[in-house]
Amino acid sequence: MNIAVFVSGKGSNLEAILASAELKGLCDVSMVCSDKLDCPAFEIAKRYKIPFLSVCESEKDGFVTFNKLHQIFTEKEIGLIVLAGFLKLMPKEFVRAFPNKIINIHPALLPSFGGKGMYGIRVHEAVFRSSAKVSGATVHFVNEIYDEGLIIDQAAVSIEDVESPEEIAQRVLQLEHVLLPSVIVKFAQRKIEIKNNRVYLTKKS
Ligand code: GAR
């Protein structure tokens, strides 16, 4: 299965996907996309010799439009789009063109601490301020609203003893690097089913 990974930052989740032994032979990262022209994660794409490009809604120098990207993805037979630290909302038309084929990782236990403006360290600051005792990571299907698609899988960690949002970020990122590749594996193995508007991870071999 060919996958496209969307990034906005340093790309540690992209790197975790590329380094995953379980994903080898199952998935190929065929393209890396960003909303930025000089996204730090492009350095990882270069190292792995993966084509990368910058995308935005309207025509702009150095960017392709989402419309064009739709065409490219069809040609490349992209079976899954992974938002791995991509911080822009995708255009509705693009999301509708890939039903249940776009997943996102969020650095908290949704449906808490999500929504517009909740990304990166801001999420961990909100979790820290709340005095929550657990946090974690969520992988969910992407719909037209920030962080509101059906939840596919989650991982949690105790944060009882943390003294800063950065400490939460560190613990959650470690979970993300395991959770995201594992969901992609299940997707590629067709072990993710939607029934009665709930997501089930099937155990079939
Ligand atoms: C990750 O923690 C990811 O969960 C978060 O951005 C970080 C990207 O790190 N995404 C969001 O906050 C989306 N709402 P990375 O570039 O090192 O993978």
Q: For the segment 169-194, what is each residue's pLDDT rounded down to a tens digit?
A: 999 999 999 999 999 999 999 999 99
Q: Can you give the CATH number for the domain in which 98 is found? A: 3.40.50.170
pLDDT band of residue 205 (cuts 50, 70, 90) is low
pLDDT score of 128 more than 90:
yes
pLDDT score of 204 more than 90:
no
Spell out which residues line ligand 1, taking CB within 6 angstroms: 7, 9-13, 41, 84-85, 87, 105-107, 119-120, 123, 173, 176
Cα 71 to Cα 47: distance, rounded to the nearest angstrom: 26
Structure tokens at 99: 């039903």
8 A C-beta contact, residue 33 and residue 125 = no
Nearest to 141 by CA among 85, 80, 91: 80
Is 194 strand, coil or helix? strand
- Percent of the chain residues past pLDDT 70, beyond the cut: 99
User: How many domains, in total, are found in the chain?
Assistant: 1
Tell me which of 106, 124, 140, 177 is the catalytic residue. Answer: 106
Q: State yes or no: is 106 an active-site residue.
A: yes
Rounded to 5 degrees, φ, ψ at 196 are 50, 40
What domain range includes position 6?
A: 2-201
Is 181 strand, coil or helix? helix
pLDDT in tens, 35-77: 999 999 999 999 999 999 999 998 899 999 999 999 999 999 9
What is the rounded radius of gyration, in angstroms, for the C-alpha atoms of the chain? 16
Least confident of 13-22, 90-99, 196-205: 196-205
